[in-house]
Structure formats: structure tokens, C-alpha cells
Structure 1
Amino acid sequence: MAHIIVIGNEKGGAGKSTVSMHLATALARLGHRVQTLDLDLRQRSLGRYLDNRYAYLSKAELDLPSPLHTVLPELGAGTLGPGENASDRRLQEAVAGLEDDSDFIIIDCPGSHTRLAQVAHSLADTLVTPLNDSFIDFDLLAHIDAEGDKITGPSVYSEMVWSARQVRAQAGLPPIDWVVLRNRLGAQQMVNKMKIEKALERLSKRIGFRVAPGFSERVVFRELFPRGLTLLDLKDVGVKQLNISNVAARQELRELIKALKLPGVTVTF
């Protein structure tokens, strides 16, 4: 059975597609069979990223390790059973068709609450939630008092993850390993940054997630999208000397994959 990794939260701009793409490509480079699904049916950020990759590699006549991308199947008329939800059926059929030929299935969720995202969370063996390092994004997980010191209660996304955990428990499936990534961290030790760090530490014990460092804010991520490339591809496309920022970004990716503790994965790049 493939290990299902869901990249999700209910807020746009947190870096979900960047994390999805780099994680998928890194696992492919490590020799794993990786399939991807993009549940943002309108914007398709991950799907577009991979379209760009396949087109660039074909034009440049390069053969670089890459994940395979699958589009959700369309349902024929009259194929749904009584009371069956179309979104549930489409996602379940897609995953069922990929499991036997994959080591990992990476599902990139939209930055909003949809039925597809809700079902995907219940399928997650590992749930990765990128979070910008601000109290605006923290509010996705929990409400906090005016001073930023006291958690007053869980927020909508945490409640959705709790529901997904209950669904898995009722089905006799292993619990979700939930990892929250602190994305776009600044270099300075600002008071706000330290408050968020302490708040996440308290909340992680309360609602059950692990905290891991994600990616710092770097121009390179935006520059790579049109060619569908990732940090690990730079030397293969002729970049002889990585600058300090790119080297640091590769290290962040390495530490991220180590922190996820995925089954059978040894980081060798």
C-alpha cells in the first residue's frame, strides 16, 4: 500500500504547492515511485508546476527523476450509487488506481474548505500543514488572546483534522502523523516570532501535531516555477556553482524530509 501524504490547510499562500513539488521530486530522486494529485481544480498550482516540468525536460532533452501526475477521473452519467458523493468517488477512484504502483501518493489540497480536501485529510498517513510564521496563519489552527500568550480554543482547520482522525479511527486505520511546517521564517529573532514558536509548542501538545521547520522566503522558488524545476535540479541543468541562498534552501529541504520520518526514506542528497 502506498503511503499517502496530504499537504493541506485552508489558507492560500502558505507554500503548499512549493512543498508538494519539492517533496515529490526529492522522493523520486531518492528512488521512490511517486504519484501526485492536485485537488485545487481551478488554480491547479501543482498541476501547472508539473506541466511546466514535463514540457521543459522534453524541450531540453533531459531525463530527470520526476513524480507522475494524475488528474481526477471524470464520472460517467449514472455511475454514482444512491446517496454517493461525486467528490468522494472521484478521489477514491484516483487513489485506488495509484496505490499498487506507488510508494508515495502526494495530494496537494486547495487553500479553502472543500469536500475533496475533507476526504483527502481522512486518507492521510502523513499530513503536512505549511504555515506562514504569523498570527494570521496561526488563527487557522487555534484562537489566541490579544497578547498572543493564551490559546482560547481550536479553530476550523484543527476541528476538520480532528474529524478526519475520527473517520480513520472508526475505519481501523493508523492515526494521522500531523506535521506543521513553520514556513517563510525570517532570519531575525523578533518578539512575534518567539511568541508564535511558544504558542505552537503549547498547541502541539494540546491537539497532537509535530512542529518542523519549512522553507525560508527565497526568490529561487518563484524563479523555478516556469521551468518546473526544483532546488535539486539546478546542477543537472547547468548551474555549476550554487549561491549561499540555494545551498541553504537545499539544506532546508533535507531537514524537512528527515523531520517527516517517512517509511523507507533515507536522505542521501
Structure 2
Amino acid sequence: MAHIIVFGNEKGGSGKSTTCMHVATALARLGHRVGGLDLDVRQRSFGRYIENRRAWMARNERDLPTPDYRELPEIDPATLQPNENPFDARLSAAVSALEPHSDFIVIDCPGSHTRLSQVAHSLADTLVTPLNDSFVDFDLLARIDPETNKVKGPSIYSEMVWNARQLRAQAGLKPIDWIVLRNRLGAQQMHNKKKVGAALEDLSKRIGFRVAPGFTERVIFRELFPRGLTLLDLKDTGVDQLNLSNIAARQEVRDLMTELRLPGVTVGF
């Protein structure tokens, strides 16, 4: 069976789709068969990223390792079982179609709570939650005492992940490996950065996730999206000399792929 990697976060602007695209492309570059789904049926950032990539390849007559991205299929209501949710059926059909041809399936969830996102979390073998490094985004995971910075209790999103874990346990599936990425980290050791880090480490022990560094805020990520490219594609597109910022960013991608600890994946790019 394909290993399913879900990128989930109910707040927008965390770099979720950018992270999803880089992980999916990295796996494809390492020779793995990668399927892709975007559950944000309105914004479709991951889907648009893939469309931009295909368009760039067509314009430049180049072939780059690319995930096998699929749209969610439409479902005939007459085929649904009694009380079956049509969104559940669409996601199940999409995963079933990709699974025979995929080693990994990456699923990008919307930045809001939806039925599709909820079901996708229960399918996750690996759950990646990118988080901007601030207490504004920390609130996604837990409520915190403003005076002591102590965690008061889990948030609705954390409770959703807990419920997904319970569903998997009832089905006899292996536990979700949950990784929280600290995206858009500042270069300086600021006091607030240390407090966020301490709060994340405390919470990770209580509700069971791993903390990992994600991507630093860099202009290059925004520049690559319209062409559908990732940092791993630059040399294939005629960029012979990477600047120091791009080299550092590529190392962040390597570090992330290593930290994910995906089965059968040896990072060698």
C-alpha cells in the first residue's frame, strides 16, 4: 500500500502547499512513484503549482520529475450507499485510483476545517503541520496562558488529530507520525522565538508530535510558484551557479526529507 503523507493546517499562510510541493518533487526525484491530491477545492494552491509545472515543461520542452497529480473524481449520487458522505466517496475513489501506481500519495488539505480534510487526516501515515513561528499560529495547536506561557489545553485542530488517531487505532492501522514544522523562522535568536520553541517542545510531549525546522522565509519560494518549479529543479533549468541563499534553502529541503523518516527513502540529492 502507498504511504500517505497529509499536509494539514487550519490556518492559511503557513507555507503548507509550498512544503507539500517540495516534498512531493523530492520524492519523485529520488525515484519514487508519487501521487498527489489537493483537497482545497477553491484555492487549489498545490494543484495550481502542478499545473504551472506542466506548463513550464511544455513551453521549454523539458521533462522534470513530477508527481502524478489527480483531480478529485465526481461521484454519481446514485452509486452512494445509504448515509454515505459524497466527499468521503470522492476521496476514497481518488486514493484507490492512485494507490496501485504510487509508493507515496501526498495530500494537501485546505487552510480551514472541512469534511475532506477531516477524512484525509484519518488516512495519514505521516501528518505534516507547517506552522509560522509565532504564538498566533501556536494557537492552532493549543491554548496558552498569556502570563506564564504554559499550555492550558489542546485546540480544536489537535483534537481533530486525536480523533483521527482513534479512528486508525480502531481500524487496526499503525499510528500517525505527526511532525510540526517551524516554518518562516527568523535568522536571529529572538526572545519570542525561544518562547515558541519551548512551548512547542512542552506540547509535543503532551499530545505526541515531533518538532522539526521547516523553511526559512525566502523570496525564492514565491518566485518559483508561477513556473511550478522547486529549489531542486534549478540546475535542470539552466541555473549553473546557486547563490548562498539558494544553497541554504536546498539544505533545508534535505534536512526536512531526512526528518520525515519516510519508509524506504534515502536522501541523496
Match of residue 123 from structure 1: 123
Residue by residue over 1:121-166, the C-alpha shift from the partner in whole angstroms, topping out at 9 and shown as x without a partner, is 0000000000000000000000001135210010011000000000
* Corresponding position: 1:50 with 2:46: no
Offset, 1:11: 0.5
Residue by residue over 1:52-91, the C-alpha shift from the partner in whole angstroms, topping out at 9 and shown as x without a partner, is 0001101100011111100000011311111000111100
Mapping of residues 111-190 of structure 1, within 5 Å: 111-147=111-147, 149-190=149-190
* Corresponding position: 1:225 with 2:225: yes
Offset, 1:8: 0.3
Letter in 1 for 2:120: A
TM score, norm. by length of structure 2: 0.99
Give the conservation status (yes or no) of the 8 Å contact 2:6–2:121. yes
Letter in 2 for 1:173: L
| Distance in 2 between residues matched to 1:185 and 1:125, nearest whole Å | 26
Letter in 1 for 2:78: G
Match of residue 259 from structure 1: 259
Residues 107 and 186 (structure 1), Cα distance of their counterparts in 2 relative to 1, 3 Å cut: same
Identity of aligned residues (%): 74
Match of residue 65 from structure 1: 65
Give the conservation status (yes or no) of the 8 Å contact 1:9–1:111. yes
Letter in 1 for 2:79: T
Q: SS at the partner of 1:100?
A: helix
| Distance in 1 between residues matched to 2:266 and 2:147, nearest whole Å | 42
Give the conservation status (yes or no) of the 8 Å contact 2:178–2:209. yes
| Pairs aligned (count) | 269
Letter in 2 for 1:113: H
Q: SS at the partner of 2:129?
A: strand
Please list every run of 5 or more consecutive structure 1 residues that lacks an aligned counterpart in the other structure: none
Give the conservation status (yes or no) of the 8 Å contact 2:34–2:67. yes
| Distance in 1 between residues matched to 2:148 and 2:179, nearest whole Å | 22
Give the conservation status (yes or no) of the 8 Å contact 2:77–2:86. no
Please list every run of 5 or more consecutive structure 2 residues that lacks an aligned counterpart in the other structure: none
Offset, 1:168: 0.3
The runs of at least 4 consecutive aligned structure 1 residues that moved more than 3 Å come to: none
| Distance in 1 between residues matched to 2:157 and 2:116, nearest whole Å | 14
Match of residue 245 from structure 1: 245
